[in-house]
A and B are shown apart, each in its own frame.
Chain A
Amino acid sequence: MNRSFFQPARISRDLMILPNDEYYRRRYRKRRGGSWLLLVVTAAAVLLAAVGARATESDMTPNANGADGVSINDTGSGDLLFRGGEPGRYIPAIHLGTKVAVKVRGLVAEVNIQQEFSNTSQDWQEAVYVLPLPENAAVNGMEIVVGERRIVGKVREREEAQKVYREAKAAGKRAALLEQQRPNLFTSRVANIAPGEKIAVEVRYLQTLRFDSGQFSLRIPSTLTPRYIPGNPLPQDSEVAVNAHGWALPTDQVADADKITPAMMPMAELARNGSHKMTLDIQLGMGLPLVDIFSPYHEVSFRRETGHRYQVELKEGSAAMDRDFALHWRPQASAMPSAALFAEQAVKQGEDAEYVQLLLLPPVSGDASPNKLPREVVYVVDTSGSMSGTSIRQAKESLLLALARLSPQDRFNVIEFNSNYRTFYPRPVVATGDNIRAARDWVESLQATGGTEMAPALREALSQQLNDEAGELVRQVIFITDGAVGNERALFELIRQRLGETRLFTVGIGSAPNSFFMRKAAEFGRGSFIQIGDLNEVQSKMRTLFEKLENPLVTDLEVRWPAGMKVEAYPKRMPDLYRGEPVRLVARVDGKMLGRAGSGQVIVSGRLAGKRFTREIALDSLRVDNEGNGIGSLWARAKIAVLRDEQQQQGRLSGTDGAEDSLRKEILQLALAYQLASPYTSFVAVEETPVRPTTEKLKSSPVPNAVARGQMLQQQTYPQTAVGVYGQLLWAMLLIGMGALLRIAHRISGKLGALRVHWANGLRRYLRRSVPDVRRRRNRLEARLLLANTGKGK
């Protein structure tokens, strides 16, 4: 039975002709050599082809590489990427042009901003733009302008306006929406701009002129400094994800962070496409002879017209939208009245009221009061990343000037803050020469980097001064910053609660500071504010600040209206006035009480350097304007601001929504009645007929804001700095190795059958040698047995 298994063994090994190991080795080596030759030839060919292809590619790129953006392929080995934008050099789909027309009448500027969005892409577009406006703007109009047609926007409740806009957008109708995010930041949206089409949105607002130290000024922001958003990111909810055009995620401290942090682009890149240019046309018709019309950041030319009117324009026709526009002018000293009072009749149907706007110059104390009170000043300087560039230079210069101004009986300290704060001295020290010198050196060494965690620094600054010295010292905090934060309200509340006897002054720095923060922080801090936009301005602006800091203020201001007149005036309580500041208010007077015999007079009284003064302004000869509705809007705007402040305080105190709700209702009604944009109301305009075919898709594109002059794009990321040669080499080796292995394996597999036989034979030979042959044994045994048997038998 076993025989068949051991069959081959029966054939003698010597009789078989089997290929030996040497045979295989030789044969295989020969074949392998051939395949390697083939490989090398192919490799050379491919290498040549690759080199050729690369060479032609680089021959061609210089021609293509002009105004066009860099393609995705080119960015593969490195380019500057903007976070939140598309990779590579991102060219906005929508270009922006702005025309600003301003009419100054009385104490009010009527501003008309027309922004033209032109769609340069091949798709239907929705433009989303963050529109910076002055912090005290009363936005009272919005229209879409398509060619000759105008579609007038209406004020609706915020959610309702959003709904109307969304529906119109989906239906393919031209629509625009203007929402307030901050008093000085609005979001402007325009839907359904056809490819190649231009649609303009006109925004109208009123603004009271600033008046300080005999000088009127007007400020029109054109971009913003990117806001720092403190807090931890919130989990993104779906609503935000849909409309998120900004790059910051909402945090627990700033819930609308994504709406106030637009995409920013360097002005140079925007200008290359002719975008973000602004033209200006300003008519100054105050009815006063003016001197000294000048703009600190732009070149302007002006023309005198009849009746003390002046026409101001940009000298070069247009300007880049990378800095605030400011215009200052001064009435002739002899022509400047000590008070100005404007009144107008309510234009609305069924409203029986008049509005009054008052500006009054308080008496001026003699120069350099002999007994200057010793001061304790804490300087807080913002050294966050947004201050880098020219801003930190301006801040340092201002601070050095302020330090030099201290007199030996004063005390001072310096605090710098970015992500953390550092105080130079633990507590304020006497302003000796040595102390000031040490502080100066430290200030010089400061660098602008990191975040803007303002709250801890403010808290520290306001708690620096010890209580036991109260009354002896005049306490001042000078806050030097660009105000680029998103949590303004929380900071105001902090100031309000911690202020005590201290006065807080803000110095706004940079080409596009957050004026809302500057003004309001100073208001809550019972101080004053100045804005420095250029290194050349530091001297003059700081001088006005020093005048305010060192001269006595006007206190106990009181305004008395004639008996029987029902008046609602804002501000409710008159703030103390610093040197150069006027008394100003807006009021609503019920009935027709003004400008007639027996109207009586307004009496303004106050105290300056220990002396009481009174001013009387007769109301009977007042001319009441029947046409305008400027003062009414400004009055409503002032009231909304007051209600917002109350909201801020109550929200803090009660923590419940009850009180806030009633305030919200009040603001909403006021805004709807006066047709104003507010936190709860937005402008929406919709064209009746749809223009976009339903087959076409709508793309939503953010229109970037220009990086403010002198600043650097904060979100600048690191360039890609590896070409991946190692990876490529590794891949090359891996691929070639695998290919070669596959070939070899295939070759071998053909001969594998023969090999198996060879190996089997070897094994068999080995086994035969080592394992004893049972059959032979058996045979031998049989033979022995046979022999024995036969032997016995024989």
Chain B
Amino acid sequence: MKSIVRFGSLILVVAGLWQLGGSAWLLAKAELAQYLIANAWDRQLASGTPHKPWPWADTWPVAKLQLAQQKPLMVLSGTSGQALAFGPGLLESSALPNDSVQEARTTVIAAHRDTHFRGLAQLQVGNPVRLQGADGSWHLFRVNHTRVVNSLRESLPVYAERDLVLVTCYPFDAVDAGGPLRYVVHASYEPGAASVQL
């Protein structure tokens, strides 16, 4: 009896520690990667060629995002699980803002609600959102509405417009990760404010 109890409790504790380690690793990875990526981004802006944040990285920074007055975030290419672990990801079928009207397309950036996009909840209508493209110029967007969508029923709003859509999971403090609800922040492009150097 005694040994069974001891063994069972040991298993429980080990499993718990595994979980703890996993989550600690996720959080550490999310924080640490941002520094490495920001570094790569600066080098990329200076040299003009894509830089990988670490030698074996399978993604690279494509933009720098600043939500209102919060700390800037590095946006990575792709919204796969690997990319999102390190930073907000740019949806493959969307595009970064560019000057050509013909090629205009919604920019969709997604991130985890429990790591990088924790600050999305604080974003209010009218707040500025800035996005720095690979050419170093900043584009200004203004939040015009936020809403909660059911991702099982709706598809991503990617249109031929130069808008920005930020996506994260909803509710923000839910325990379960696989819920169907998404929090969507829609920001419209402010054409005059392009190429503002910060």
Contact = CB atoms under 8 A, between A and B. Distances in A.
A and B pair up: yes
A731 B102 CA distance: 50
B93 A266 contact: yes
Contact of B56 (A49, A58, A713): A58
A51 B58 contact: no
B124 interface: no
Q: Report the interface size class on chain B.
A: 35 or more
A730 B175 contact: yes
Interface residues of A, number: 65
Given A728-B19, A729-B19, A448 B160 contact: yes
Given A39-B13, A59-B56, A725-B114, A742 B5 contact: yes
Most chain B CB atoms below 10 A, which of A59, A739, A746: A739
Interface in A360-410: 385, 388-390, 392-393
Given A721-B182, A724-B114, A732 B157 contact: no
B177 A448 contact: no
B73 interface: no
B81 A74 contact: yes
A766 interface: no
A62 B160 contact: no
B47 to A, nearest CB: 22
Contact of B178 (A50, A266, A720, A737): A720
Given A448-B159, A722-B114, A722-B174, A739 B167 contact: no
Interface in B158-174: 158-161, 167-169, 173-174
Contact of B85 (A712, A723, A746): A723
Contacts of A729: 19-20, 23
Interface in A724-763: 724-740, 742-743, 746
A716 B158 contact: yes
Interface string A678-704: 000000000000000000000000000
A739 B182 CA distance: 35
A364 B15 CA distance: 86
A74 B59 CA distance: 15
B19 A731 contact: yes
Nearest to A719: B79
A721 B168 contact: yes
B64 to A, nearest CB: 19
B24 interface: yes
A697 B2 CA distance: 51
Interface stretch (B36-44, B105-113, B125-133, B138-146): B105-113
A731 B112 CA distance: 19
Given A718-B167, A746-B2, A723 B16 contact: no
Interface string B95-110: 0000000100000001
B79 A50 contact: no
Given A70-B80, A388-B158, A734-B16, A54 B25 contact: yes
Contact of A721 (B13, B18, B82, B110): B110
Contacts of A78: 79-81, 84, 112
B176 A727 contact: yes
A738 B19 CA distance: 14
Nearest to B84: A78
Contacts of A740: 9, 13
A674 B33 CA distance: 68
B174 A77 contact: no
Contact of B176 (A47, A724, A736): A724
A75 interface: yes
A721 B5 contact: no
A723 B111 CA distance: 10
Nearest to A396: B160
A334 interface: no
B10 A739 contact: yes
A515 B185 CA distance: 38
A727 B10 CA distance: 21
Contacts of B89: 719
Contacts of A734: 16
B158 A712 contact: yes
A550 to B, nearest CB: 30
Contact of A732 (B9, B17, B175): B17
A133 to B, nearest CB: 28
B115 interface: yes
B21 interface: yes
B12 interface: yes
B191 interface: no
A740 B10 CA distance: 8
A510 to B, nearest CB: 13
Contacts of A626: none
A121 B60 CA distance: 32
B6 interface: yes
Contacts of B117: 721
A753 to B, nearest CB: 15
Contacts of B178: 720, 722, 724
B160 A390 contact: yes
Contacts of A49: 21
B102 A80 contact: no
Contacts of A75: 80-81
Contacts of A54: 22, 25
Interface of A: 39, 42-43, 46-47, 49-51, 54, 58-59, 61-62, 65, 70, 74-80, 266, 385, 388-390, 392-393, 447-449, 535, 712-740, 742-743, 746
State the 8 A-B residue pairs at the shortest beta-carbon distance, nearest first.
A735-B16, A724-B177, A50-B21, A739-B12, A739-B13, A736-B16, A732-B20, A732-B19
Given A76-B81, A727-B175, 4 more contacts: A720-B81, A721-B168, A731-B19, A743-B5
17 contacts: A42-B14, A77-B177, A79-B79, A448-B160, A716-B93, A718-B149, A718-B156, A719-B167, A721-B113, A722-B112, A723-B26, A723-B114, A726-B173, A728-B22, A736-B13, A738-B9, A739-B9
